[in-house]
Amino acid sequence: MTDEIMHVSVGDLKPGRFLLIDGIPCKVVDIETSAPGKHGSAKVRITAIGMFDGSKKTLLKPSHSDVEAPVIAKRKAQVVSVSGDNAQLMDLETYDTYDLVIPEDLRGSVKAGSEIEVIEAMGKKAMTRITSGGN
């Protein structure tokens, strides 16, 4: 599992980057930095959304500390079939097939033959966007 995690400085984080909060891969949506106090360093409050469950998480750390970040792999897949809120996908590099739940924002627009982008981190996968239309 060590090859799936890297360390990133809190000062280098920006919205859109990924980090682990309570062991859950999250995408940073907001960063607030407080001024350093008389006896302490500046603090950074990070607000992030869980990549796979959509839960909102916050993290408060000193600006000079490090956090863990997941290694994210972006892959392309083709939709083989759609059944309700699930889609059967085929990876366009390895030709492996697997099922994923279609996210709320993509429901209704995912069709058989479409190419989509899938992100993978820590053994989990999720659809992110449609790259081409299909049928």
Q: Which long-range contacts (CB under 8 A, 24 or more apart) does 82-85 make?
A: 82/110, 82/111, 82/112
pLDDT for residue 12: 87
| pLDDT band for position 1 (cuts 50, 70, 90) | very low
pLDDT exceeds cutoff 80 at 134: no
Tell me the pLDDT tens digit for each residue of 15-72: 999 999 998 999 999 999 988 878 788 899 999 999 888 899 999 999 889 999 999 9
How many whole angstroms separate alpha carbon 30 and alpha carbon 16? 9
Reported confidence tier of residue 135, pLDDT bands at 50, 70, 90: low
Strand ranges for the chain from DSSP E: 5-9, 18-21, 24-33, 43-50, 56-62, 66-70, 73-83, 86-91, 97-101, 115-121, 124-132
3-state secondary structure of 20: strand
Whether 132 has a pLDDT exceeding 50, the answer reads yes
Say what the pLDDT of residue 103 is. 87
pTM: 0.77
Domains and CATH numbers, the chain: 2-70 (2.30.30.30), 73-132 (2.40.50.140)
What's the rounded mean pLDDT across residues 108-135?
A: 87
Residue 57 contacts residue 29 (beta carbons within 8 Å)? no
> Could you give phi then psi for residue 2, rounded to 5 degrees?
-65, -25
